[in-house]
Amino acid sequence: MVDCPPAWERHGDDPAESGLARAQERLKALTLAGCRRVIMPPKPVTGPQTLTASMHTGAFCSVLVMSAGSDENILEMTLKSPMGQTVATRKASDMELAHCAEVTGDHAVTVTPTNGDYFTLAGMECPRAVARKRGAK
C-alpha cells in the first residue's frame, strides 16, 4: 500500500492555488498606493494560524493581507488589542485588514480557514492616509 499525501498538499508551490498570486496583487496595489515597508513577506500556509503583530501608534498603520487560492476556502480573521479586546473581525477568501493602532504593543491575529487548503498571509506598513482609504479607523 502506498501512502499518498492529501490532494491539497500538492498546491503549496502553486501561486494560484495557494493564494500567493492574489496576495502579491494586493501587495502591488498597496505599494502603488504609497506603502513602502513589508512587515510580513507573503507566505503560503495551511491550517489555523496565530500571529503576533507588533503595532505602534503614529503616522503609519498596518495592512494585513490574507488570500486563499479559491473562493471555497473562507478565512476568518480576528485582531485583538494588547489588552485582549477584539478590534476587528473579517470573513472572506481574499481580504485586507487595515488597522491603525490606538495602543502600541503586540496585537494578536488569528486566521482560521474553513478547509485544509493553502492560503497566503502578508502585511505592509502604510501611511495613515492610505490605511484609512482601505478601511482603517
pLDDT at 21: 94
Q: For residue 119, give Cα distances in angstroms to 3, 43, 53.
A: 24, 8, 18
Determine, yes or no, domain membership for 5.
no
Provide the pLDDT for residue 59: 94
Residue at 109 is within a domain: yes
Whether 2 maps to a domain, the answer reads no
User: What is the count of structural domains for the chain?
Assistant: 1
Instruction: Go through the chain and tell me how many residues it has.
Output: 137
CATH number assigned to the domain comprising residue 117 = 2.60.120.380
Q: Is residue 92 part of a domain?
A: yes
Partners of residue 90 on adjacent β-strands = 77
> Looking at the domain assignment, is residue 6 inside a domain?
no
30 phi/psi in degrees, rounded to 5: -65, -40
Structural domain range at position 69 = 11-133
> Pairing between strand 105-113 and 75-80?
antiparallel
Q: Does some domain include residue 122? A: yes
pLDDT tens digit sequence for 36-95: 999 999 999 999 999 999 999 999 999 999 999 889 999 999 999 999 999 999 999 999
Q: What is the pTM of this model?
A: 0.86
Q: Tell me, what's the pLDDT at 8?
A: 47
Q: What are the backbone angles phi and psi of residue 58, rounded to the nearest 5°?
A: 135, -155
User: CA–CA separation, 43 vs 15, rounded Å?
Assistant: 10
Summarised one tens digit per residue, pLDDT across range 16-42 is: 788 999 999 999 999 999 999 999 999
Assess if residue 1 is contained within a domain: no
Confirm whether 3 is domain-assigned: no
Question: Per-residue confidence at 6, pLDDT binned at 50, 70, 90?
Answer: low
